[in-house]
Amino acid sequence: MTKHSNNVLIVVCCTIILCGILFCLRFLPDKSQSDFLENKESASVSLLNKPIEKIEKIIINNSYGQYSFIKIKDNKLEIEDLKNYPRHESNYEELSSIISNLTADIKVNIDDNTLLETYGLDKPVAQIEILYNNPESKDMKLLIGNQAPSNLGYYFKIENNPDIYVVQNNNIEPFLKSKLDYISLVLTSPSSIDETMKNLEYIEINNIASGKIKIVPSKSTNENKKIDSYTIIEPTNKSFTDEDLGIINSMETMYADKVEMVNPTDGDIKKYKLDNPMHILTLKYNNKNPIIIKASPSENEDEYFLMVEGSKLIYLISKDSLRWINFPLKDAIN
């Protein structure tokens, strides 16, 4: 074999070996992940175990800012400056449960040279202060750091305690919420609609671009006065199709996706194009004030800003949840 051939063979062999090494490295965990996997131990450690009755106040400071909870009747929590807004009960209940019974499944093995910045605890993503109402329970400050590898949870530490834990994502997420997440997203409630649907007087849909229609129900003669069908009476009489009935039924339950703003000014309402909305829905029940819902598209064509008249809230809602904005007006007129 010639010298040239030997050199070629050596180059080919080196290339194959290098490719093999690079291939293996692709599937190795990064340094921080391998360190974590080597320096953790399974542990079921109780971090918070005081009943909600003993808590005086909770202060959360996260990426959305600072807000605080106080206790109200029946030991329920409430955000101090949201007491005049409808409550998102399930979010309050979730926080109450976690704050009185929080455990960690993993304890990180550390030493005297461990730096908090390794776990994002020098600049935590959230800090929670828990103030208790009796001298036997010492106030606590909780620190939430970076997410741990493999989606195992978040690094967690109690201030003035050297230990570092990993707490599951679902037990940390309530501390990362905005205070607006504690406002109810219910626009029309199934229970209230069920109670008053038999007293429905009319529905009015006003789409600025295509016109206005008025819909009235037809009721059976039985004692329950159940609504059997609906008729469009303006701009012309028209019986309903199955598609139309589906749109009416969608009005029974409407939920927003999120609260965009509380207590908007006139300037805010104009900014969200709700001073002259593109779509207006009116639900009128006998002997009750009408429910008037206003909606205008956001910059994202699949989302709309929405207000219920008389409310001090601006919501964001998906277009798919507002089927009535696409009501077949042309078919009704034709």
% residues pLDDT > 90 (the chain): 50
Q: How far apart are CA 245 and CA 327, in angstroms?
A: 11
Write the CB contacts of 330 (distance below 8 Å, at least 6 apart in sequence): 210
Domains (range + CATH), the chain: 32-182 (2.60.40), 186-333 (2.60.40)
Chain-wide mean pLDDT for the chain?
A: 82
pLDDT computed for residue 239 by the predictor = 65
pLDDT at 23: 53
pLDDT above 70: percentage of residues in the chain: 76
C-alpha span between 173 and 155 (Å, rounded) = 12
Q: pLDDT tens-digit profile of 289-307?
A: 888 999 999 998 899 999 9
Model confidence at 330: pLDDT above 50: no
Instruction: Kindly report the pTM of this predicted structure.
Output: 0.79
279: number of Cβ within 10 Å: 22
pLDDT value at position 333?
45
Spatial CB neighbours of 214, under 8 Å, sequence gap ≥ 6? 202, 203, 204, 232, 233, 234
Read off the DSSP letter of residue 149. G
Q: Once rounded to an integer, what is the mean pLDDT over residues 81-94?
A: 94
Task: Specify the pLDDT at position 228.
Answer: 62
pLDDT (average), residues 90-94? 96
